[in-house]
Structure 1
Amino acid sequence: MTGTTGTPAGATPPLAELAGFAALHAKALGITRTELRQGLAAIRRDGTPDAWPRTWNRLAAHHQRADRPLHACRAHVLARFPYPADEHRRAAGDLAVRAFDTWRRSHGDIRRLELTLSSGTLTAWAAGLEPRAGRPLLLVMGGIISVKEQWAPFLAAARRLGVAVVVTEMPGVGENAHRYGPHSVEMIPELLDELGAAHCAAGVQLVALSFAGQLALSAAAEDPRITAVHTVGAPTDGVFRDPAVWATLPRTTTATLAHLAQREPPQLEKELATLALDEQALARVRVPVRYVASRRDEIIPRREWERLAEHLPDFTWVEFDDVHGSPAHLADTRLWLLHGVLDALGDRRARALAALLAVRGRADRGGTTRTHAAHHGERSRT
């Protein structure tokens, strides 16, 4: 099978592109700048196809020997980047899960869930998931590259936030055995069904990044259990059905999508087109939606979040002058997402975070439609 831009779906894109995207991935994981710089230098010197996973697995082994299992997990996650295209990357993914499992056993009530949905099995990590506690549920999911083990901070913070946290993966990523495609929109509602009514009774907020944001918005349009959606760089339209947009996507993105969907390029583009959210679907999204946008995003065109501002009644977004995922604004993105979660909970700590974000002065452009109904159709913009 060949990728949409000529890259074999089972092979990884060129090192130069991988290194660029890995900068965001490594920063989000907590890989230090020194570790990233030294690792990339070693990979370039080596020059062989296996250099990438071998280098980061070597770093993971170093952390493992030093009894730092979470650090080891993060290095193994980088070793599988962007997806398990070969045996070394597949092994790295398995080792990441094992290292995380070692870490979580010494960190409170984090437990492993194995759920069977209609299209395959799904694995998640959960914290604070006690039906009698009556806590709101926070369901967290990364994009087409992110594995669930990256969300350790959310799990560790569950009790402080006053919520139950479940972290999982997009179809085809990590231990999610589903194939990514049109039927993927059923995954979140089915997952909530499996968790049970008691865990969803106090409301479910979704933190879903990039392509997972589309799944979250699709679910929010139909599922009354969902009370808010928080996302970063989510595609909703052109990325799925505009050939001109598709032609500009990085090879890392198209190759990864081909891997997750297990499809030949012509069929892949046709299938993904059905995931676009039309105006009727957006009209059914009545819950608060909070969106982090990047002005120089090389994957998500500006029009994607402009459409949401036109059609969603409670949509607030922040724009950073950055590329996809806003790697230079990672701290601000995390604060902004946390503020949105707390605000949706009615937690007074949201005010303190709002003040902190204002002091930092990094969210210099954005807008909201929250005042739309109250102000006769005027959109607030900062």
Structure 2
Amino acid sequence: MNDVTELKQYVGAHALSQSLPPEHFHKLLDRIRTDEGGAPGSWAGEWCRAGERLEQEGHLLEAVRHFNMARFPYVDGPARTEALERCVSVFDRWRKETGGIERLDVDTPEGRVGCWTSGLSDTGRKPLLIFMGGIVSIKEQWAPLLGRLSKLGFAGLVTEIPGVGENGLPYHKDSWRLLPRLLDAVQGSADVANTYCITLSFSGHLAVRAALEDDRIRGIMTVGAPVNDFFTDRAWQAQLPRITVDTLAHLTGVASADVGEHLRDWALSDQELRSLPVPLAYAASARDEIIPAGDPGRLRRTVPDLRIVEYDDVHGAPSHLPEMQMWGFHSILRMKGGHLLPRAALRYALLAGRLRRRPAPTPA
């Protein structure tokens, strides 16, 4: 059973990333007293009841966001299983009504991977943009972004890290192989020789590792990805949030006490980082409670083609989400080249966002 206080502490970043107003979700959190089952006052129960009301009122995407929060941080029993199923089914209704997003299931030797896609076509194949979240976010959280990709010249594919949501693969050291398998699955309907990745947190680690082996990946944007120190620094691991350790234990199939040792050889070496053949854009957080400062520092010392931005924020920079999204898309377009108008528009929006947050001058 999860610690309710810690759930409330760390869910805020994910609620904000889905545009849930703080005054709304704080009232909901105040009703939660336990993480047991789906009864009134429970984590899954209260989030699901809010989702049901929104679904009945026809606010499907808002309902999806609440069912997503109900299964947070991972599926550990019947209540969260039902929440995930309802999240996926209501998103399916929403995307059918909205149009432009298609379902794709990819079978691999290790299991089936559920995906949402846009812009795939047998003719006029476009460069591919893969979007993947971290260890506690599902594809339905990010799939609405697929609607933006056509204007930016991409086909899109959104999926999850192994073990999360509808990704039935185990999570292990070689999970980076998922990315080449996804490219193989859509090679007839996208220009996979020009693939770019927006892979957040732990999936950023997978993308960097995959780019060392698969030259179809041409650029990566990531946010707070573990690289080396996260996997090797025992002192840092000892103070990680319990929710992070327990989630990694659930995904990897080891006891929470054994997570650190289990992940030790997942670290990317300096030699590997120096040989990274593609541009990397990395958004770091100065107050990141999950990723140690040594990881972005290591990237600065080693990666040949690196753009890095740092926000005064916690992991995932939830208070800087609009600016970070614009910076991320601008970085990917810069890697891809061309499309001067979208790049200029994103650059202008990025600058405007920075100016809006600049403190006003102090009156004389």
Q: TM-score, normalised by structure 2?
A: 0.92
Please give the root-mean-square deviation of Cα atoms over the aligned residues, in Å.
Answer: 1.8
Specify the code of the residue in structure 2 equivalent to 1:361: R
Q: How does 1:276-287 map to 2 (within 5 A)?
A: 276-287=267-278
CA contact (8 A) 2:195 2:218 kept: yes
1:90 maps to 2:94:
no
What is the match of residue 25 of structure 2?
Answer: 36
1:23-62 CA-to-partner distances (Å, cap 9, x unmatched) read 1010112222222011111114xx4634111011011001
- Spell out, residue by residue over 1:120-157, the C-alpha distance to the aligned partner (whole angstroms, 9 max, x if none): 11110001011312211000000000100011332111
Q: How many residues align?
A: 351
1:141-156 alignment, distance < 5 Å: 141-156=132-147
- Quick one: which of 1, 6, 10 aligns to 1:21? 10
Cα pair distance change 1:85/1:362, threshold 3 Å: farther
* Residue identity matched to 2:60: P
Tell me the equivalent position of 1:378. none
- Residue of structure 1 in register with 2:71 after alignment: 80
The structure-2 alpha-carbon separation of the partners of 1:212 and 1:201, relative to structure 1 and needing over 3 Å to count, comes to closer
Matches within 5 A, 1:282-361: 282-346=273-337, 347-348=339-340, 349-361=342-354
1:179 equivalent in alignment to 2:207: no
The Cα shift of 1:266 comes to 5.6
Cα deviation, 1:217-259, whole Å, max 9, x if unaligned, reads: 0011111100110000000011112211211110010000011
The equivalent of 2:115 in structure 1 is 124
Structure 1 unaligned segments of length 5 or more: list them. 1-10, 365-382
- TM-superposed CA distance for 1:308, in Å, is 1.0
The aligned residue for residue 362 of structure 2 is none
* SS of residue in 2 equivalent to 1:324: coil
Partner SS, residue 97 of structure 2: coil
Q: Which amino acid aligns with 1:190?
A: R
Give the corresponding residue for 1:61. 52
2: CA distance, partners of 1:279 / 1:363: 38
C-alpha distance 100-250 of structure 1, shift in aligned 2 (>3 A): same
Q: Which runs of 4+ in 1 moved over 6 A?
A: none
Do the aligned partners of 2:4 and 2:35 also contact (CA within 8 Å) in 1? no
CA distance in 2, matches of 1:151, 1:342: 19
Q: 2:220 aligns with which of 229, 235, 252?
A: 229
DSSP 3-state at the match of 2:114: strand
Note if contact 1:73-1:149 (Cα within 8 Å) is conserved in structure 2: yes
Residue identity opposite 1:115 in structure 2: V
TM-score normalised to structure 1 length: 0.88
1:362, distance to aligned residue in structure 2 (A): 7.0
The code of the aligned residue for 1:358 comes to L
Q: 2:177, 2:95 → 1: CA distance? A: 29
Contact preservation (8 Å) 2:193, 2:217: no
CA distance in 2, matches of 1:105, 1:354: 32
